[in-house]
């Protein structure tokens, strides 16, 4: 019997450590700095734009500056006012004002404030347009945010920017490691669930996200390995297209239809509340890079299409939204289809499979501006 079994493990352990250290050093010397530039949380100057919020799940840090990374040009600063909106302070007004709700596309991830959709809209229409976009939000949180603000914020127009991953976000009880408010359909009625997260245990990041940040901060090798996997599997885009393809093609009754029905119910309540408050409601369907740019990742969906009888129409969600809006008399702007026909469409996205570039945000603003003007003209004082 070996009295010192640990000695047998010492040599392999030392070899493993030396190999790991050599790999870490190699990545530090060879891998481009872009590993850090692309993923904000590992940059030493990065300050996150959001913080946990007991009612909304998370929300923009009020009265703060957040330093983020532009994929192309480097660091930029996004400023939040005292209420948490991206942009200048908000004051009472006697002219038309629009509230723009959405996720990181509306917030303007990777864009300067002047390049965001809301600021572009303000410049095109003369209507003060407040940026209420919050990174990671879905339609349900946007409605909860509107309900919490509408009594204290004068407005005439509400613009809801819908993005395809809202279908998934609206059926989730937790996103990004945080609890969130969510809605459920009960006998055809929309019911808000877990509206007061303050009553739940303290908000904490999921263990995985915490460890991931630690390893990213200390290890070039780990960051490189994760980035390679993310480039291959698109994890940095939350697998949204894997999810949508799965919902649409293989789980029609179990996931896609309930998710769509819930989303449409949330949008209808949103519209009803805005109009009850005397406002004008505009629904905008944002462009989706992997759908608009058919040649961007050729064959990406082939694995899913092989399991279906016919090719799937990836514009199905557009058509469903448009039919719903027409049936309910909603103002609907389908920028996804409009941008698809634009010869400049390749310039409308940044290099992350998802977000709009400055030119893309400007194009969306141009398409939405006429509807904002139509809403604002009879309301000017």
Segment 287-291 mean pLDDT: 80
Segment 224-236 mean pLDDT: 47
Q: Between residues 156 and 289, which one has the greater pLDDT? A: 156
Q: What angle do CA 220, 225, 228 make, to 5 degrees?
A: 125
Residues 49 and 58: their CA atoms lie apart, in Å, by 10
Residue 171 has pLDDT above 80, yes or no: yes
Q: Between residues 86 and 151, which one has the greater pLDDT? A: 86
Residue 115 has pLDDT above 60, yes or no: yes
Segment 194-212 mean pLDDT: 55
Most confident of 24-28, 35-39, 105-109: 105-109
Task: Report the mean per-residue pLDDT for the chain.
Answer: 77
Instruction: Look at 11-25, 179-193, 365-379 and tell me which has the smallest mean pLDDT.
Output: 11-25
Q: Identify the band that residue 119 occupies on the pLDDT scale cut at 50, 70 and 90.
A: very high
Q: Cβ distance 293 to 287 under 8 Å?
A: no
Q: Identify the band that residue 1 occupies on the pLDDT scale cut at 50, 70 and 90.
A: low
Domain borders along the chain are 31-379
**SS3 labels along 121-162:** HHHHHCCEEEECCCCCCCHHHHHHHHHHHHHHCCCCEEEEEE
Residues 357 and 371: their CA atoms lie apart, in Å, by 22
Q: Between residues 153 and 298, which one has the greater pLDDT? A: 153
Question: Residue 252 to residues 138, 229, 243, 284: CA-CA distances in angstroms?
Answer: 21, 29, 12, 24
Segment 280-295 mean pLDDT: 83
- Look at residue 301 and give its three-state secondary structure: coil
Segment 353-362 mean pLDDT: 89
Q: Between residues 289 and 122, which one has the greater pLDDT? A: 122
Q: What is the pLDDT of residues 234-268, one digit of tens each?
A: 333 334 555 555 555 455 556 778 888 999 999 99
Model pLDDT, residue 178: 78
Backbone angles phi, psi at 334, to 5 degrees: -95, 80
Residue 206 has pLDDT above 70, yes or no: no
Most confident of 74-83, 152-161, 209-218: 152-161
Dihedral sign, CA of 320, 326, 331, 334? positive
Residue 296 has pLDDT above 60, yes or no: no
Q: Cβ distance 132 to 85 under 8 Å?
A: yes
The architecture CATH gives domain 31-379? 3-Layer(aba) Sandwich (3.40)
Model pLDDT, residue 335: 94
Model pLDDT, residue 138: 94
Q: What is the pLDDT of residues 321-344, one digit of tens each?
A: 999 999 999 999 999 888 888 888
Segment 345-369 mean pLDDT: 90
Q: Identify the band that residue 308 occupies on the pLDDT scale cut at 50, 70 and 90.
A: very low
Percent of the chain with pLDDT over 90: 33
Q: Cβ distance 296 to 172 under 8 Å?
A: no
Residue 181 has pLDDT above 50, yes or no: yes
Dihedral sign, CA of 121, 122, 123, 126? positive
Using alpha carbons only, how large is the chain's radius of gyration in Å?
23
User: H or E element: which one contains 285?
Assistant: strand 280-285
Long-range interactions of 326-334: CB distance < 8 A, separation 24+:
328/268, 328/271, 330/267, 330/271, 330/281, 330/283, 331/280, 331/281, 331/282, 331/283, 331/371, 331/375, 332/282, 332/283, 332/284, 332/285, 333/282, 333/283, 333/284, 333/285, 333/367, 333/368, 333/371, 334/285
Which residue in this structure is represented by tokens 């960051």? Answer: 223
Residues 57 and 198: their CA atoms lie apart, in Å, by 9
Q: Between residues 218 and 69, which one has the greater pLDDT? A: 218
Question: 30: which residues sit within 8 A by CB, 6+ positions away?
Answer: none
Angle of helix 220-233 relative to helix 207-218, nearest 10 degrees?
A: 120
Q: Between residues 217 and 53, which one has the greater pLDDT? A: 53
Residues 188 and 258: their CA atoms lie apart, in Å, by 12
Instruction: Look at 37-41, 60-64, 190-194 and tell me which has the smallest mean pLDDT.
Output: 37-41
């Amino acid at each position: 019997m070996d009295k010192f079994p640990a000695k047998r493990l010492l040599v392999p352990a030392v070899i493993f450590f030396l190999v790991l250290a050599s790999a870490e050093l190699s990545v530090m010397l060879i891998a481009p700095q872009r590993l850090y530039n692309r993923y904000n949380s590992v940059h030493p100057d990065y300050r996150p734009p959001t913080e946990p919020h007991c009612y909304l799940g998370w929300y923009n840090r009020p009265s703060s500056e957040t330093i983020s990374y532009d994929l192309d040009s480097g660091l930029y600063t996004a400023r939040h006012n005292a209420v948490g909106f991206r942009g200048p302070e908000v004051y009472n007004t006697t002219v038309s004002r629009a509230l723009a709700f959405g996720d990181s596309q509306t917030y303007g991830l990777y864009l300067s404030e002047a390049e965001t959709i809301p600021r572009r809209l303000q410049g095109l229409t003369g209507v003060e347009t407040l940026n209420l976009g919050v990174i990671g939000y879905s339609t349900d949180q946007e409605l909860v945010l509107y309900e919490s603000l509408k009594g204290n914020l004068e407005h005439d127009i509400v613009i809801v920017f819908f993005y395809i991953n809202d279908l998934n976000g609206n059926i989730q009880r937790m996103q990004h490691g945080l609890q969130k408010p969510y809605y459920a359909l009960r006998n055809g009625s929309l019911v808000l669930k877990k509206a007061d997260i303050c009553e739940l245990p303290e908000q904490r990041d999921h263990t995985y996200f915490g460890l991931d940040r630690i390893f990213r901060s200390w290890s070039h090798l780990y960051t490189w390995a994760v980035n390679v996997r993310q480039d291959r599997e698109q994890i940095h885009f939350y697998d949204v297209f894997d999810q949508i393809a799965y919902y649409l093609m293989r789980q029609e009754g179990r996931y896609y239809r309930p998710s769509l029905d819930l989303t449409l119910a949330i949008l209808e309540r949103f519209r009803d509340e805005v109009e009850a408050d005397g406002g004008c409601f505009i629904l905008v369907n944002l462009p989706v890079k992997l759908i608009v740019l058919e040649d961007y990742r050729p064959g990406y969906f082939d694995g899913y299409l092989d399991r279906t009888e016919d090719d799937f129409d990836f514009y199905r969600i557009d058509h469903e939204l448009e039919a719903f809006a027409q049936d309910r008399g909603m103002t609907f702007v389908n920028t996804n289809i409009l941008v698809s026909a634009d010869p400049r469409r390749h310039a409308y996205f940044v290099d992350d499979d998802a977000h709009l570039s400055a030119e893309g945000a400007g194009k969306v603003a141009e398409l939405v501006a006429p509807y904002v003007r139509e809403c604002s003209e009879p309301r000017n004082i």
